[in-house]
Structure 1
Amino acid sequence: MGNPYSIKAEALSDVELWGLQREELEKLVASNPSLGLELSKTAGVCIAPLKKYLLQKLREAPGFSKLPEEALEAIASNLSISRYQAGDFIFKEGEPPKGLFLIESGTVNLFTPEGEEFIALEEGQAFGEMNLLTGRPYSSMAQAATEAFIWCLPAERYQELVSAHPTIKKTLGQELRA
């Protein structure tokens, strides 16, 4: 969806194929963002027409509201979505930073290394940014408390974006210190 095809499809029998032009898809997603979200969940990546929706989510997430528009657009363009079942770990103590996470739906609990819950995060909240900024391994664990759909900006993409948009690291660092 906005990217070159990564697979080849070949019909093994007669089929009836339906298509939807990109412009029509964009109109549908603009009027019904949940459709774009469902398509993104199915594809595992952000479909291009959903970018406006993600920009709004980022603007509303604590720590991101002060980022310049071009930095928000760069982040939104590089998010992928994953589904976690209740009990799945997003990361564990001692692992290197995997990325910046933004909860689309569900609840994520952060635990101390001793297993004590110290914060429950919900829709619209971000986590993992401190470790991206410092480069240090996680000192806590993040576990899905319920089924959760979570957007992720992978650590390697974050580093590339920070090189292109230094304001990302500066602004997030200031927000975390505040």
Structure 2
Amino acid sequence: MVIEFAIFSWISIAKIIWDFGTNPKRKGKSFKLEIRVLRWDGAGMDLTTLFRAPPMDPLLKIVSGVPIFRECNRVELEALKLHLHERHFLAGEIVFDEGEEGEGMYVVIRGKLRANRKGRLGKKVLGVIQPGESFGEMALLGSGPRMATVVAEEDSTVLAMFRPELVALAQARPRLGFKIAMGVALVLELRLRRVAEGHSPEPSST
């Protein structure tokens, strides 16, 4: 009977094999202990082949790159996933209108959307929102009118998160809720700074 134990550290892998067998030259059972230590310097052996985490959900991989979720670890992202809703918009379809009350934010997964704002000379295009970018984050922190209209330039898929769900998530996981709130605050601060410095606000400032 062979029982194997693997013990790992930063610099070594110890493999201990306990081999209980019968030695015909001796009475009873013999005991043999063999220890083999394999040095690991980061080049010869890849530990990920031994303890490889399952691949991250493609949608979560995109979400993890969004600034307001960038501080979330994998466990937190998995919890966040339960509060994200996939939405599909056809080309020309409006996601929300300028002036309507905001309820949540969106992350673009596929496609392309355009943000417009009314001006004295007519409609002004603020910019295009691409996959991996978010918009509407301000609505997560409080109700208020949307600052722009967002319309799909082509068939698009987004993940939506609404304010009541952020509240529920923050109650269940206060640390995660705090991270998201701080992420939103940081994004809004950076956008306000851009405006103060004379730059145009990002198209996702809605």
Q: Same fold (TM over 0.5)?
A: yes
User: Aligned pair 1:52/2:23, yes or no?
Assistant: no
User: Aligned pair 1:175/2:187, yes or no?
Assistant: yes
Task: Give distance in 2, aligned partners of 1:73 and 1:137.
Answer: 31
Task: Give distance in 2, aligned partners of 1:118 and 1:77.
Answer: 31
Q: Residue 89 of structure 1 aligns with which residue?
A: 94
Gaps of 5+ in 2: 1-53, 191-206
Q: Residue 75 of structure 1 aligns with which residue?
A: 80
Give the one of 64, 70, 73 matched to 1:65.
70
TM-score by length of 1: 0.64
Question: Do 2:68 and 2:182's aligned partners in 1 also have CA atoms closer than 8 Å?
Answer: no
Instruction: Single out whichever of 133-142 and 143-152 deviates more from structure 2.
Output: 133-142
Gaps of 5+ in 1: 1-29, 32-50
- 1:64 counterpart letter in structure 2: F
Q: Secondary structure at the match of 1:66?
A: coil
Task: Give distance in 1, aligned partners of 2:104 and 2:161.
Answer: 5
**Number of residues paired by the alignment?**
130
Instruction: Report the alpha carbon displacement of residue 154 of structure 1 after superposing the two structures with TM.
Output: 2.4
Task: Give distance in 2, aligned partners of 1:137 and 1:120.
Answer: 20
Alignment CA distance shift 1:111-1:102 (3 Å)? same
What are the Cα deviations for residues 114-152 of structure 1, in whole angstroms up to 9, with x where unaligned?
A: 321111001111111023224222011111011111111
Query: Which structure has the highest helix share of the two?
Result: 1
Task: Give distance in 2, aligned partners of 1:153 and 1:126.
Answer: 11
Question: Do 2:97 and 2:148's aligned partners in 1 also have CA atoms closer than 8 Å?
Answer: yes
Of the two structures, which has the highest relative contact order with CA contacts closer than 8 Å and spacing of 6 or more? 1
RMSD (CA atoms) = 2.2
Q: Secondary structure at the match of 1:78?
A: coil
Instruction: Single out whichever of 168-177 and 109-118 deviates more from structure 2.
Output: 168-177
Q: Residue 134 of structure 2 aligns with which residue?
A: 126
- 1:133 counterpart letter in structure 2: L
Q: Residue 118 of structure 2 aligns with which residue?
A: 113
Q: Secondary structure at the match of 2:159?
A: strand
Q: Residue 146 of structure 1 aligns with which residue?
A: 154
Query: Which structure has the highest strand share of the two?
Result: 2
Question: Do 2:104 and 2:160's aligned partners in 1 also have CA atoms closer than 8 Å?
Answer: yes
Task: Give distance in 2, aligned partners of 1:65 and 1:167.
Answer: 9
TM-score by length of 2: 0.56
What are the Cα deviations for residues 99-125 of structure 1, in whole angstroms up to 9, with x where unaligned?
A: 210111111101113321111001111
Instruction: Report the alpha carbon displacement of residue 174 of structure 1 after superposing the two structures with TM.
Output: 2.0
* Rg larger in structure: 2
